[in-house]
Amino acid sequence: MRVFEPRYLDMISRCMKDGVPFGVLLIKDGQEAGPATTHTVGTLATVADWYQGSDGLLGITAIGTDRFRLLTADRQDDGLNVGEVELLPPLPPLPLPADFVGLQHILESVMNDLGRLYEDLERCCDDAVWVAYRFVEILPIGLEEKQRWLENDDVPACLKMIEDVLHN
């Protein structure tokens, strides 16, 4: 992400200084720079790396960690949206069903080609939950579709959707 707005520069600075994550929610209606409504389920993200570009903009690499549900929200004077959230319980590991073992091999191959962002990621390719999340993360599908799967706990249905996308 390239960060240039003062509200986000301040937020990222606080997150890095205090070692805390920030929340990411997909906008439902409206725009980033004005009034907007968001989905209520999002992802916490931590800053994994940063750099200052030759254009002076701050570049960050953020890693998604936990899902959360937004409970309350408020817009600060600087336009930054803040809120109270509850963490959603992580889905328990689930052995990858034999019907989807081909997805494991495809994912391993793709991740080997993705470079630096994925080279240090601990791989759990025999866990259906981990495989589903990685595919939804990297597949070129719409943000609304990614949001549906972020909110969904039906891992086999997600694997089926992934298989359908790959075959089409």
> Which residues form the domain of 118?
98-167
Number of structural domains found in the chain: 2
- The answer to whether the CB of 50 falls within 8 A of the CB of 16 is yes
**Residue 92, in any domain of the structure:** no
Among 39, 62, 87, residue at a domain's last position: 87
126 and 158 inside one domain: yes
Q: Could you tell me the CATH number of the domain that includes residue 43?
A: 2.30.130.40
pLDDT, tens digit only, all 168 positions of the chain: 888 888 899 999 999 999 999 999 999 998 777 678 899 999 999 998 898 888 888 999 898 899 999 999 998 888 888 999 999 999 999 999 999 999 999 998 888 887 776 777 778 889 999 999 999 998 999 999 999 999 999 999 999 999 999 988
130 and 153 inside one domain: yes
* Helical (H) or strand (E) element with 82: strand 81-87
**Predicted TM-score (pTM) of this structure:** 0.85
25: its two tokens: 């929610």
- The answer to whether the CB of 62 falls within 8 A of the CB of 47 is yes
141 vs 64: CA distance, rounded Å: 18
Among 87, 106, 126, residue at a domain's last position: 87
pLDDT at 109: 87
| Closest listed residue to residue 15, CA positions, set 71, 65, 54, 55 | 65
